[in-house]
Chains A and B, each alone.
Chain A
Amino acid sequence: MKDVFLLVYRNIKERKARAALTILGIMVGIGAVVALISIGFGMEESITGELVEMADVIMVTPMRMELGSIGAFGSFTDRDLEAVKRIGGVKDAVAMMGTMEEVEYRGEKFMVHVIGTDPKDVGALFGAIVKPEEGRYLKANDHKTCTIGYSIANDYFDDEIGVNDRITINGSKFRVVGVLEKQGGFRSETDSAIYITARDSVSILDNEDISTIFVRVRNIGEAEEIAAEIEKRIDDNHKLDDFTSAMTMGSAIEQMESIFGVLQAVLIAIASISLIVAAMGIMNTILMSVMERTHEIGVMKAIGAKNRNILFLFLLEAGVVSAIGGVCGCIVGVIGAHAISFGIQTLFDVEIAAIVKPEVLLGGVAVAMLVGIISGLYPARKASKMSPVEAVRYE
């Protein structure tokens, strides 16, 4: 066996440049597939992972996402919130009164999402997830105070905003009591919002429209039933059909997973095209090798090599070249996945860690070898079937 590898090694070495190009072809193909799969896993994990933390949460919005109906906003009322709180199995519910308001700080002005909430409810619901980095949460009897998202504090304005600084929302001064921890990813909305008490929202901003109700259930198993009940009760309050959308995070996770499944399949299909090109490269390389070595094949046959000896030699050459390509591809794929992850983080400020699974790497090498051996089959058979006398005569 050692000698066969030696023979194959010498043959590859003799045509270094060609072998290197073939290896490069496979490397690109396998590398692309490995990188895309790893980054796909990372994306799925980072998004569904965040959602899993909130698996017992139901998000209620006054809009059904249906084709052609986008923009048909409405809003909820206090009555809706009370109705939801009365449903059995509901642990907490918090209403969010969100509007876009003009916010001014040291002469700079931006339109920012300002959300009025009940401090007690929001603490019960998100206290464990969204913590203040500096300062404290809003309290029930706070007046003209706010907590601000991480991006509002650090990115929006030229000057950083800290605790006890004052900002102007729609003409009224508010004191900052807390800066929230950076959330990023799926919850990055939190980073660019300002939170005030529900009372201030009504009295100062004159906004009592509830844009979202978040509900936490006692038992995740009942989430779907409770979501249906919420939709029914609010729809009844407004005497409308299909006015309310209550989405459990569980179904959101499922939806995300199926979206990512499709996305990943499409990406892999695209990357596979480069593998097909690489396969043709291998076939071409081995065909050239067979043609160049016709004479040598004849000599080997003349001194007693059987057809299968020759077949094996060329298949092994294809296998070795593609295995090297596969291993290099895996290395490049891992590096590429981390580079993409870094790129996404720098460009979009979203943290997606590439997840490299060992089975993906093993699969990458296996696919490379399979592709190599399959495309080596035709030229290797051609070589093995040569007539010895004609092959020896070939110069």
Chain B
Amino acid sequence: MIRTENLTKVYRMGEVEVQALREVNLEIQDGEFIAIIGPSGSGKSTLLNMIGCLDTPTSGAVFIDGIDTGKLSENGLAEIRREKIGFIFQQFNLVHTLNALENVALPMFFAGVKRETRLKRAEELLANVGLGNRIYHKPSEMSGGEQQRVAIARALSNDPEIVIGDEPTGNVDTKTGNTIMDILEGLNKEGRTVIVVTHDAEIAARAGRTKRMRDGRVLD
């Protein structure tokens, strides 16, 4: 279970303080498919970064399976990101010098998985997202939709309980967007918690639950 408690994040930009999150209290059950929707600047990406252990709160706390992530060291956070969380970005964020197979195997490499094991698993994961015949292609040789599917395969490489998507359909056309949502739905059906941030109401409608955000607050 993921729970935030009075989660607050303040960014300082020179003299100006920006309240990105204001005392957010949110509970996400295991196996839930939740969409967080809101205009840009509403704080939804910041919330996602907190839940994804990419960032630490100014005050308040994020609990993942009862662990207060604010109390973890940098390495502890890296371990949670590696073992429990799969991150999918709007910009795909693949390592452009590596091919699809190597990109998917990369998190397993950081986890210390043996080479043959991780390459075999990476191949399976790519086949699952329909890219079994493109495993040796570099990101620059792939379409946006294909890159995003590689990114999804990468997010799944360490078999995480939680899959987080920050506008995962934001940079692809509607048809591809639907394919990606199909895959995410499938992951949810396998029992994973899926959290998606979007400003597209149609995409959000496919989630089990929707939360709206505005000005750093979660609306009911």
A interface residues (Cβ-Cβ under 8 A, vs B)? 2-4, 6-7, 10-11, 14, 295-296, 299-307, 309, 387-389, 392
* Distance of A6 Cα from B115 Cα, bound (Å): 13
Select which of B74, B75, B106 is within 8 A of A300 by beta carbon: B106
What are some 10 contacts across the A-B interface (CB < 8 A)?
Answer: A3-B102, A7-B97, A10-B98, A296-B95, A296-B96, A302-B87, A303-B82, A303-B110, A306-B75, A388-B81
Which residues of B lie under 8 Å from residue A296 when comparing CB positions? 95-96
> In the complex, are the beta carbons of B97 and A303 less than 8 A apart?
no
Cα–Cα, bound, A300→B105 (Å): 12
Contact B81 A300, beta carbon cutoff 8 Å? no
CB distance from A317 to the nearest CB of B (A): 12
Report whether B158 and A392 are in contact in the complex, using a CB–CB cutoff of 8 Å: no
Taking A7-B98, A10-B98, A302-B54 as contacts, is the C-beta distance between A392 and B93 under 8 angstroms? Answer: yes
* Nearest A residue (CB) for B158: A304
Across the interface, do B49 and A389 meet the contact criterion of CB distance under 8 Å?
yes
> Do A304 and B93 have beta carbons less than 8 Å apart?
no
Per-position binary interface string of chain B over residues 70-101, scored 1 when its CB falls under 8 Å from any chain A CB and 0 otherwise: 00001100110111000101000111111000
Q: Considering the complex, which residues of chain B in the window 88-126 have a beta carbon less than 8 Å from any beta carbon of chain A? A: 89, 93-98, 102, 105-107, 109-111, 115
How many residue pairs at the A-B interface have CB separations less than 8 Å?
71
CB neighbors of A among B52-69 (8 A): 52, 54-55
Query: Taking the nearest CB of chain B, how far is it from the CB of A393, in angstroms?
Result: 9
Contact A299 B95 (CB under 8 A): yes
B157, closest chain A residue (CB): A303
Instruction: Verify A303–B54 contact, CB threshold 8 A.
Output: no
Q: Let me know if B44 is at the binding interface, CB within 8 A.
A: no
User: Is the beta-carbon distance between B74 and A307 smaller than 8 angstroms?
Assistant: yes
Chain A residues in 8 Å Cβ range of B49: 389
What is the predominant secondary structure among interface residues of chain B facing chain A?
Answer: helix
Least CB distance, A120 to chain B, in whole angstroms: 82
Alpha-carbon separation in the docked complex, A167 to B115 (Å)? 85
In the bound complex, how far is the Cα of B105 from the Cα of A302, in angstroms? Answer: 14
Docked-complex contact A304 and B115, CB < 8 angstroms: no
Q: A3-B109, A306-B78, A389-B49 are in contact. Are A300 and B54 (CB under 8 A)?
A: no
Within the assembled complex, what's the spacing in Å between the Cα atoms of A14 and B138?
A: 13
Report A385 CB to chain B, min CB distance, Å. 9
Given contacts A309-B110, A388-B54, contact A302 B97 (CB under 8 A): no
**Distance from A4 Cβ to chain B, minimum over Cβ atoms (Å):** 8
Question: Nearest Cβ in chain A — how far from B177, in angstroms?
Answer: 22
User: Contacts A302-B52, A302-B87 known; A2 to B115 CB distance under 8 Å?
Assistant: yes
Q: Which 4 A-B pairs rank lowest in CB-CB distance, beginning with the nearest?
A: A304-B82, A10-B97, A389-B55, A389-B54
Q: Please pick, from A2, A295, A304, the residue contacting B110 in the complex, using a CB distance under 8 A.
A: A304
